[in-house]
């Protein structure tokens, strides 16, 4: 396993484009695979998670090739996938497993979806329940964990469904199954969640109605090939936004970043904390809003973050907790129990790491309070367990910018699930980070 060592202090400066958006990349592969015709995907994120999705479709007979900087996927139509010869190994990727569950439920053949130890611990009842109500037959470990065996050849019926939590993964799973169902599937969102599925289905020619928080889609609609330009991932940019805010004297430009309103919570939260962040060159790229983002070192102050902001920044709280530790005053997050069922329990794991670095935190079932230390070095050095969670590793790497001594982070291989090349890119804008193989 790789270990990161980050030297104390420093600042970030320059211009960078972080790799492509993970959520958009997954969907681009899935939708092109079941579309009619060949789709051209540029900016595809070649991370372990998205490559797991690509390999899953390859094993179901989908052909793809590189052409310059584009990935061309030859779609097989809604009913053209073939039975895979073995289990579909989705590694660490919750998005692959939950979205594919919906898609596989509508196939004529059986499939088995497996993942690594972390993915095998994550809750799958949230997709098994609605799919079972649609007529899918799914068996799981203890009824709720991967591996999932999805028995094909079932006739799915549309449902009217309200997920128990606001989740783009549940919503997308049900909508994808709805493509294969008889009748019109309706999902009532209990709260806002990222809408990449809706935007991209629309781009692929599917008629999907939205009325307030209610989405509906008629089954049997074909998808038509589309050229997807994947924006840079705001969730990856978030580490640099936080790094530049906390690193004294920093000044950074992040280009071509997705700023979808259902994802941009990290920008709004940091701005509410006093961050000097400005957006320019705002434009629409293949149905997704994109901008360049300038960020400078900022005097942050603590704020209260309530449930209404949680899903809008769901993946960015590890980075935001690091920002909170450098802010004047206290930051309180509530309504965020979902953080406990991500790649790690991100409340427990961030609290453990922040305490290791000398930060005062208190933990609740659904959130955390962080007492900021704005003047002195916010952190003393130490050795952090990332708990094999990519975002924990990258968040603590940024903490080095405000630490009085080096920070060592264990088990960093998982960074490649979302952000291959993180170390080189971070070094390029001034972070003193080295990766080495730990014995």
Which of 12, 34, 100, 314 binds ligand S3P (CB under 6 A)? It is 314
Q: Which residue is nearest to ligand S3P (CB)?
A: 23
Stretch that binds ligand S3P, among 114-122, 162-170, 259-267, 351-359 (CB under 6 A): 162-170
Closer to ligand S3P by Cβ: residue 172 or 236? 172
Q: Is 315 annotated in the active site? A: yes
Catalytic residue among 49, 116, 315, 389: 315
Closest C-alpha to 200, from 67, 73, 19, 23: 23
Closer to ligand S3P by Cβ: residue 167 or 403? 167
Closer to ligand S3P by Cβ: residue 97 or 401? 97
Q: What is the secondary structure of 49-102 as a DSSP string?
A: HHHHHHHHHHTTT-EEEEETTEEEEE---TT-----SS-EE-TT-HHHHHHHHH
16 touches 425 (CB < 8 A): yes
304 touches 336 (CB < 8 A): no
* Site membership for ligand S3P, residue 315 (CB under 6 A): yes
Closest C-alpha to 117, from 83, 141, 152: 141
Binding mask 189-218 for ligand S3P (x = CB under 6 A): ----xx------------------------
How many angstroms separate the most distant Cα atoms in the chain?
63
Provide φ and ψ at 325, rounded to 5°. Answer: -65, -20
217 touches 32 (CB < 8 A): no
CB of 200 to ligand S3P, least distance (A): 11
Stretch that binds ligand S3P, among 29-37, 115-123, 166-174, 210-218 (CB under 6 A): 166-174
Which of 168, 270, 309, 384 binds ligand S3P (CB under 6 A)? It is 168
CB of 169 to ligand S3P, least distance (A): 4
CB of 341 to ligand S3P, least distance (A): 8
β-sheet with 111-114: strand ranges across: 88-89, 111-114, 145-151, 137-141
280 touches 267 (CB < 8 A): no
* Site membership for ligand S3P, residue 386 (CB under 6 A): no
Which runs of consecutive H residues, i.e. helices, occur in 248-402?
265-272, 307-310, 317-325, 346-356, 390-399
CB of 249 to ligand S3P, least distance (A): 32
Stretch that binds ligand S3P, among 70-78, 81-89, 309-317, 393-401 (CB under 6 A): 309-317
Residue that has been written with the tokens 């840079």 in this structure: 232
CA distance 268 to 266: 6
Token output for 46: 């070649």
Rg (CA), the chain: 21
CB of 311 to ligand S3P, least distance (A): 6
Closer to ligand S3P by Cβ: residue 55 or 263? 263
* Site membership for ligand S3P, residue 167 (CB under 6 A): yes
CA distance 429 to 336: 32
For residue 243, the number of C-alpha atoms closer than 13 Å in the C-beta half-sphere is 31
CB of 313 to ligand S3P, least distance (A): 10
Binding mask 91-120 for ligand S3P (x = CB under 6 A): ----x-------------------------
Closer to ligand S3P by Cβ: residue 239 or 379? 239
* Site membership for ligand S3P, residue 320 (CB under 6 A): no
Contact residues for ligand S3P (CB under 6 A)? 23, 95, 167-169, 172, 193-194, 311, 314-315, 338
- By annotation, the residues acting in catalysis are 315
């Amino acid at each position: 396993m790789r270990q990161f060592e980050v030297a104390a202090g420093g600042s970030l400066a320059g211009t960078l484009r972080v790799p492509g958006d993970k959520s958009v990349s997954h969907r681009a592969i899935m939708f092109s695979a079941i579309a009619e015709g060949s789709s051209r995907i540029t900016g595809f994120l070649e991370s372990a998670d998205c490559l797991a999705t690509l390999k899953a479709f390859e094993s179901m007979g989908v052909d793809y090739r590189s052409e310059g900087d584009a990935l061309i996927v030859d779609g097989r139509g809604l009913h053209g996938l073939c039975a895979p010869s073995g289990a579909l190994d989705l590694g660490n990727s919750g998005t692959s497993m939950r979205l594919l569950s919906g898609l596989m439920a509508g196939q004529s053949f059986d499939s088995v979806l497996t993942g690594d130890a972390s993915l095998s611990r994550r809750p799958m009842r949230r997709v098994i329940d609605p799919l079972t109500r649609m007529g899918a037959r799914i068996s799981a470990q203890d009824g709720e964990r991967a591996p999932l065996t999805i028995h094909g050849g079932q006739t799915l019926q549309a449902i009217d469904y309200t997920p128990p939590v606001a989740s783009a993964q549940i919503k997308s799973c049900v909508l994808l199954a709805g493509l294969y169902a008889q009748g019109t599937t309706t999902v009532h969102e209990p709260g806002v969640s990222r809408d990449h599925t809706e935007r991209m289905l629309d781009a692929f020619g599917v008629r999907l109605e939205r009325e307030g928080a209610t989405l509906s889609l008629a089954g049997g609609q074909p998808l038509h090939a589309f050229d997807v330009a994947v924006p840079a991932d705001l969730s990856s940019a978030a580490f640099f936004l936080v790094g530049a805010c906390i690193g004294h004297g920093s000044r950074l430009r992040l280009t071509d970043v997705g700023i979808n309103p259902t994802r941009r919570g990290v920008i709004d939260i940091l701005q509410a904390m006093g961050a000097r962040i400005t957006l320019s060159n705002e434009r629409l790229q293949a149905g997704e809003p994109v901008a360049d983002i300038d960020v400078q070192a900022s005097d942050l102050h603590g704020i209260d973050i309530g449930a209404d902001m949680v899903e809008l920044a769901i993946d960015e709280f590890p980075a935001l907790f690091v920002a909170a530790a450098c802010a004047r005053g206290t930051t309180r997050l509530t309504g965020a129990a979902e953080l406990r069922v991500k790649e790690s329990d991100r409340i427990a794991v961030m609290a453990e790491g922040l305490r290791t670095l000398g930060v005062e935190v208190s933990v609740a079932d659904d959130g955390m309070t962080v007492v900021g230390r704005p003047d002195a070095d916010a952190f003393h050095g130490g050795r952090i367990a990332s708990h094999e969670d990519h975002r924990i590793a990258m968040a603590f790497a940024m903490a080095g910018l405000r630490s009085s001594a080096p920070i060592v982070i264990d088990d960093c291989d998982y960074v490649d699930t979302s952000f291959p090349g993180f170390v080189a890119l971070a070094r390029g804008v001034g972070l003193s980070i080295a990766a080495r193989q730990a014995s």
